[in-house]
């Protein structure tokens, strides 16, 4: 557990006391504005470069072609999803990743 104030890892704009576990043993600060944003958006944070990705839940869900995965995401629609990913497009451009179509292991809720 972190203590005290830290910079929000999503907007990198505000100092906050709140933190969220985005992966086992990885805790980041997230301000209340970004927590609110997470109600309508999935938020992914790249653990390599720290870049954050905010995608509207509706858009992500409509774009998923895999039915099982779609179901998993729909179950998560009402939950706050702020997750860490190992690598993103920015730090690994040769791997075109579409987070909406990553493995089910991404979704654990
Ligand atoms: Zn924030
Ligand atoms: Zn990255």
Domain assignment of residue 20, yes or no: yes
Terminal C-alpha separation, the chain: 21
Ligand 2 centroid – CA 85 distance (Å): 8
Domain assignment of residue 1, yes or no: no
**DSSP characters over 15-64:** EES-EEEEETTEEEE--HHHHHHTTTEEEEEETTT--EEEEEHHHHHHH-
pLDDT beyond 90 at 81:
no
Strand partners, 52: 45
**Confidence band, pLDDT 50/70/90 cuts, at residue 80:** confident
Per-residue pLDDT, 40: 93
Domain assignment of residue 44, yes or no: yes
Q: How many domains does the chain have?
A: 1
pLDDT beyond 70 at 101:
no
pLDDT beyond 70 at 95:
no
Domain assignment of residue 70, yes or no: yes
Q: Which ligand places an atom closest to the C-alpha of 88?
A: 2
Ligand 1 centroid – CA 101 distance (Å): 25
CA distance 53 to 88: 9
Which residue segment(s) compose the domain that 63 sits in? 6-104
Residue for token pair 């980041």: 28
Ligand 1 centroid – CA 3 distance (Å): 17
Domain assignment of residue 90, yes or no: yes
Q: Which ligand places an atom closest to the C-alpha of 8?
A: 1
Domain assignment of residue 109, yes or no: no
**Confidence band, pLDDT 50/70/90 cuts, at residue 105:** very low
């Amino acid at each position: 557990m972190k203590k005290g104030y830290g910079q929000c890892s999503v907007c990198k704009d505000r100092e906050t006391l709140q933190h969220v576990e985005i992966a086992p043993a990885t805790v980041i600060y997230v301000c209340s504005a970004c927590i609110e944003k997470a109600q309508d958006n999935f938020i992914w944070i790249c653990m390599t470069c720290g870049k954050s990705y905010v995608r509207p839940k509706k858009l992500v869900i409509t774009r998923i072609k895999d039915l099982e995965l779609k179901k998993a995401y729909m179950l998560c629609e009402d939950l706050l999803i702020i997750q860490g990913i190992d690598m993103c497009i920015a730090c690994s451009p040769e791997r075109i990743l579409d987070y909406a179509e990553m493995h089910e292991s991404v979704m654990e809720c």
